């Protein structure tokens, strides 16, 4: 493995060292799915991770639906394969009704940022848990002609806070032509409204020879990633026998829709994208969304938000506010520490 050829030092091995460490450490990943109730979010999550996270849910009647404006279901899935521990994936499902609760979702996301900021500023940073939302699947109804006004509002409110991946739900209600038309429409509207969705990192062309055959298909789909977003998906909790195999699908009189058949829908591509981009999704959350939150948060001194005015007094005020916050935190911790005798 280590070549002792002249001139070879060996630090090209570093990526392996980095990988080994992060594999051992593992990391936390939170996936949020947002969309109208009844679009198949829970079913899709079950299909994604091949588990029944939500066995036989109770579907509320119309009258009760008005009362329950936000349903939050959270569950954790541990994925392990070949001794490689992938992140703990936590799935949150939100079903908002119009106008009431996207603020609630925003608050939730902000709260996680706030908590992380607090932990990051603390004294003991060894075991910070990352509960921030790393990815949001936004479910678009297949029954309309594109984005609804609610969809636009929602995505615009969320795109500065979380990586948005638009998904067309229940894609089996559409023919392939209708699907293409809807996708194009949705993409146009997304760009029209200036909505920023998650961009897949570009695959470099000079890596072709390095990728193995089994990932060739994967790469091909990424070089033209735009043609697959939004992902048109189908989910199913049922196993159906097709050609002697049991597969996840939906049985209709006119045929069987197979969840994992790339010719029937984009489910596999969505799943592949999620699993192989978990790290990138987490990084973009950290480097972009969280940093934006953090700098906005630290700038706020309680006064109404003004335009960016650069002057020394303002900087001084900010630093003093920061100092005060830190001092409060320290005072709290010191008080706690004083209660423990003999520690240092």
Partner 1 sequence: PHAGPVESKNEAAMSELVPEPRQKPVVPMKPMGINASLLGYIGIDTIIEQMRKKTMKTGFDFNIMVVGQSGLGKSTLVNTLFKSQVSRKSSGWNREEKIPKTVEIKAIGHVIEEGGVKMKLTVIDTPGFGDQINNENCWEPIEKYINEQYEKFLKEEVNIARKKRIPDTRVHCCLYFISPTGHSLRPLDLEFMKHLSKVVNIIPVIAKADTMTLEEKTEFKQRVRKELEVNGIEFYPQKEFDEDLEDKTENDKIRQESMPFAVVGSDKEYQVNGKRVLGRKTPWGIIEVENLNHCEFALLRDFVIRTHLQDLKEVTHNIHYETYRAKRLNDNGGLPPMTVETEESHESNL
CB of 174 to partner 1, least distance (A): 25
Q: Which residues pair with 75 in a beta bridge?
A: 91
Question: Is 21 a residue that touches partner 1 (CB under 8 A)?
Answer: yes
Question: Is 336 a residue that touches partner 1 (CB under 8 A)?
Answer: no
Tell me the CA distances in angstroms from 191 to 90, 195, 196, 227, 262, one per residue in order. 30, 6, 8, 14, 27
* 95 vs 174, beta carbon nearer partner 1: 95
| Contact predicate 162/109, CB 8 Å | yes
- For residues 263 to 282, the per-residue mask of contacts with partner 1, x marking binding by CB under 8 A and - elsewhere, is -----x--xx--xxxxxx--
Phi, then psi, of 30 in degrees rounded to 5: -115, 125
CB of 106 to partner 1, least distance (A): 11
- For residues 27 to 66, the per-residue mask of contacts with partner 1, x marking binding by CB under 8 A and - elsewhere, is -x--------------------xxxxx-x-----------
The rounded distance, in Å, linking the Cα atoms of 135 and 29 is 8
Question: Is 2 a residue that touches partner 1 (CB under 8 A)?
Answer: yes
**Interacting residues with partner 1 between 165 and 194 (CB under 8 A):** none
**Residues in the chain, total:** 344
**Interacting residues with partner 1 between 246 and 265 (CB under 8 A):** none
| Contact predicate 56/46, CB 8 Å | no
* 201 vs 255, beta carbon nearer partner 1: 201
What is the size of the binding site for partner 1 (CB under 8 A)?
93
* 129 vs 176, beta carbon nearer partner 1: 129
**Interacting residues with partner 1 between 66 and 125 (CB under 8 A):** 69-70, 72, 74-82, 84, 86, 88, 90, 92, 99-101, 103-104, 107-108, 123-125
Question: Is 19 a residue that touches partner 1 (CB under 8 A)?
Answer: yes
Question: Is 318 a residue that touches partner 1 (CB under 8 A)?
Answer: yes
Query: Which of 177, 212, 243, 303 is close enough to bind partner 1 by CB under 8 A?
Result: 212
Query: Which of 56, 209, 210, 306 is close enough to bind partner 1 by CB under 8 A?
Result: 210
CB of 108 to partner 1, least distance (A): 6
CB of 302 to partner 1, least distance (A): 16
Residue found under tokens 């906005």 = 296
CB of 323 to partner 1, least distance (A): 4
Query: Which of 24, 303, 338, 340 is close enough to bind partner 1 by CB under 8 A?
Result: 24
Question: Is 152 a residue that touches partner 1 (CB under 8 A)?
Answer: no
Question: Is 323 a residue that touches partner 1 (CB under 8 A)?
Answer: yes
């Amino acid at each position: 493995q280590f070549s002792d050829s002249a001139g070879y030092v060996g630090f090209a091995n570093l990526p392996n060292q980095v990988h080994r460490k992060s594999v051992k450490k593992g990391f936390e990943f939170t996936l949020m799915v947002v969309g109208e109730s009844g679009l198949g979010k829970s079913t899709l999550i079950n299909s994604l991770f091949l588990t029944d996270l939500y066995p036989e849910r109770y579907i509320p009647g119309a009258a009760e639906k008005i009362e329950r404006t936000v349903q939050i279901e959270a569950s954790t899935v541990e994925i392990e394969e070949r001794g490689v521990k992938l992140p703990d994936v936590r799935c949150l499902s939100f079903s908002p009704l119009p106008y009431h609760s996207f603020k609630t979702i925003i608050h939730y996301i902000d709260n996680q940022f706030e908590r992380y900021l607090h932990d990051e500023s603390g004294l003991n940073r060894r075991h910070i848990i990352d509960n921030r939302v790393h990815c949001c699947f936004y479910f678009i109804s297949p029954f309309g002609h594109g984005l609804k006004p609610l969809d636009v509002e929602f995505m615009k409110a969320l795109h500065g806070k979380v990586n948005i991946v638009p998904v067309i739900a229940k894609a089996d209600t559409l023919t392939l032509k209708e699907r293409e038309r809807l996708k194009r429409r949705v993409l146009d509207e997304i760009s029209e409204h200036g909505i920023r969705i998650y961009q897949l990192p570009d695959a470099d062309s000079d890596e072709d020879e390095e990728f193995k055959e089994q990932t060739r298909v994967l790469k091909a789909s990424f070089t033209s990633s735009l043609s697959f977003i939004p992902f048109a998906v189908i989910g199913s909790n049922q196993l159906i026998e097709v050609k002697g195999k049991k597969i996840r699908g939906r049985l209709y009189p006119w045929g069987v829709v197979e969840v994992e058949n790339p010719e029937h829908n984009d489910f596999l591509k969505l799943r592949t994208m999620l699993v192989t981009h978990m790290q990138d999704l987490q990084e973009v959350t950290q480097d972009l969304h969280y940093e934006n939150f953090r700098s906005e948060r630290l700038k706020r001194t309680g006064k109404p938000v003004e335009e960016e005015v650069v002057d020394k007094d303002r900087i001084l005020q900010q630093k003093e506010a920061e100092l005060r916050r830190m001092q409060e935190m320290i005072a709290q911790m010191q008080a706690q520490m004083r209660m423990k005798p003999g520690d240092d």
